[in-house]
Structure 1
Amino acid sequence: MATQKMVLELEEFEEEYSLVAIHCSVASHKMAFILNKRLNTRLTRRPIDLEFSNRGLEVTFPLYQYDDNQSYTSYYLIGNACHSQAAQLQSSGGLFNDQSDTSQVTTFLIPEFRKADYFLKVESDLELIPLDQMVSELNQVNEVVTAYQVEPDRIKSKNNLIFD
């Protein structure tokens, strides 16, 4: 009796989104306030920030979200850098002479864009979001050094941008 083998090929599901890199030196809550004022959004901080483990360190990135139900669009503001303290224990060989030292470790959400301070991720079912106009508005803000659109295909660490 002949056996039949069925092969199920799954297409890789990639979420469609646009990404804007923002260079500025203000705190995340102030950046969310600026975006709310300039882009007429209502970004609010999520109760749980984006957290994951990287080389034994627990890193957290501030995450703000706004769902616009009228245009079926979700906006996410995420910080790119997390500064944390790493403890290092140095043993001197004695019983009581162990010394602990801490060092500052910076972890980036998107390591390919280390100089970007924030990312604005825009998910939309419709292609009605004028991203060029949004970037132009951001570049007119005094606190923003520069803002530009990033092609998601250039990012190797795309999995870090999955928030759900």
Structure 2
Amino acid sequence: MAAVHKLVLDDFLEDNFILLAIHSPLEPYRLAYELNKILHIQLKYHKQLDAYDLYEYEDEKSQILWNLINNKTINSLEEKQKPSTLFQQETNTIKYLVPEYKKTDYFIKISDSVIAVDNIISKIKAIPQIITTFAIATDTLKSKNNLIFY
């Protein structure tokens, strides 16, 4: 009888980070600008991940990686022409990066778990267009793997 070996990959995907949720009507580029101003960081547009705008800043001195990403994207889909209608209809579907937080507009992911979160949250709340911001416990987050950007 051959020995059976089982690999558990969950240990390799462990990524410790702070996750902040932001409710704001601002466009992503405008929010990045406001965050740069108030937090003294330099978020820059990095790339688009499946229609989500990703902004990134790597603080080489402190070895902290900051990511700003929107939670919602709107996909427009054309329905097939139905026999009972004369025209095609276009419908919009909303896709969420983290479906557990559908009311959240943006997430800030900070790769350091020892940073002063309360100080950062109070600074973000000082931005006039921010409705609210709060920290999310990542250990219970079901869609945690959606926040791995590499």
**Partner Cα separation in structure 2 for residue 4 and residue 24 of structure 1:** 58
**Secondary structure class of the residue paired with 2:3:** coil
Structure 1 distance, partners of 2:104, 2:7, is 37
Match 1:155 to one of 141, 144, 150: 141
Residue 149 of structure 1 aligns with an amino acid whose one-letter code is: A
The two structures have a TM-score, normalised by structure 1, of 0.83
For residue 20 of structure 2, what is the aligned residue in structure 1?
20
Shift in alpha-carbon separation, 1:8–1:92, aligned structure 2, 3 A: closer
Measured after TM superposition, the shift of residue 145 of structure 1 is 0.6
Of the three residues 109, 112, 122, the one matched with 1:121 is 109
Q: 1:98 to 1:89 in 2, by over 3 A?
A: farther
Please tell me whether Structure 1 or Structure 2 has the larger radius of gyration of its CA atoms: 1
Residue by residue over 1:42-83, the C-alpha shift from the partner in whole angstroms, topping out at 9 and shown as x without a partner, is 00001x3111xxxxxxxx111000000000100000001001
Query: 1:135 maps to what in 2?
Result: 121
Q: Provide runs of 4+ in structure 1 moved above 3 Å.
A: 3-11
Structure 2 residues without counterparts, runs of 5 or longer: none
Equivalent of residue 5 in structure 1, options 3, 6, 11: 3
CA apart distance, 1:154: 2.8
Identity in percent = 29
Higher strand share: 1
1:7 and 1:144 mapped to 2: Cα distance? 51
Verify the 8 A CA contact 1:89 1:98 in the aligned structure 2. no
Write the distance in 2 (CA, Å) between the matches of 1:6 and 1:155.
31
Which digits, 9 at most, give the CA deviation of each residue in 1:5-58, with x for residues without a partner?
374654623100010000110100000001100101100001x3111xxxxxxx
- Any residues of structure 2 matched to 1:70-149 within 5 Å, and which? 70-92=61-83, 99-124=87-112, 127=114, 129-149=115-135
Say what the alpha-carbon RMSD is for the aligned residues: 1.9
Shift in alpha-carbon separation, 1:8–1:108, aligned structure 2, 3 A: closer
SS of 2:41 mapped into structure 1? coil
Report the counterpart of residue 44 of structure 1 in structure 2.
44
Deviations 1:136-158 (A, max 9, x none): 11111111011100001232111
Could you tell me how far apart the structure 2 residues matched to 1:98 and 1:114 are? Answer: 35
Q: What 5-or-longer segments of structure 1 have no aligned partner?
A: 52-59
